[in-house]
């Protein structure tokens, strides 16, 4: 029995299966959602308070904080981080 993936890494496997971009986007979104929620917790803000401070609906905030939903825009993330008194940093590596 010869395993074609023996010696490769997980990223190579995901890329060969056409899943790498989707998995990376979901992972990034989970990290962003987690960090935003952590900052909200530090400030003692509820989701309702955060949404109000962002001048958006609670459902929009729920969409932002949903770690499974990778389809959010940069403007929404930037608005949330700014509301929390933070800056968003994106870099290519």
CA 79 – CA 50 distance, rounded (Å):
11
Classify 15 in phi/psi space as left (phi over 0), alpha (psi -120 to 50) or beta.
alpha
pLDDT, tens only, 57-85: 999 999 999 988 878 888 999 999 999 99
Question: What is the pTM assigned to this prediction?
Answer: 0.80
Between 66 and 8, residue with greater pLDDT: 66
Burial 34-50 (b: 16+ CB within 10 A, else e): eebbebbeeeebeeeeb
Given a cut of 60, whether residue 5 has pLDDT beyond it is no
Calculate helix-pair angle for 58-65, 74-83, nearest 10 degrees: 100
* pLDDT for position 81: 96
Could you give all domains of the chain from N- to C-terminal order, each with its CATH number?
A: 32-93 (1.10.260.40)
Q: Report residue 49's pLDDT band, with 50, 70 and 90 as the boundaries.
A: very high
* pLDDT for position 86: 95
């Amino acid at each position: 029995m010869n395993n074609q993936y023996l010696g490769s890494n997980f990223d190579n496997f995901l890329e060969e299966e056409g899943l790498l971009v989707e998995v990376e986007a979901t992972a990034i979104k989970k990290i962003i959602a987690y960090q935003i929620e952590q900052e909200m917790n530090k400030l003692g803000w509820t989701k309702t308070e955060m949404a109000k401070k962002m001048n958006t609906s609670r459902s929009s905030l729920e969409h932002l904080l949903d770690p499974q939903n990778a389809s959010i825009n940069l403007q929404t993330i930037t608005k949330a981080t700014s509301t929390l008194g933070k800056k968003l940093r994106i870099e290519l590596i």
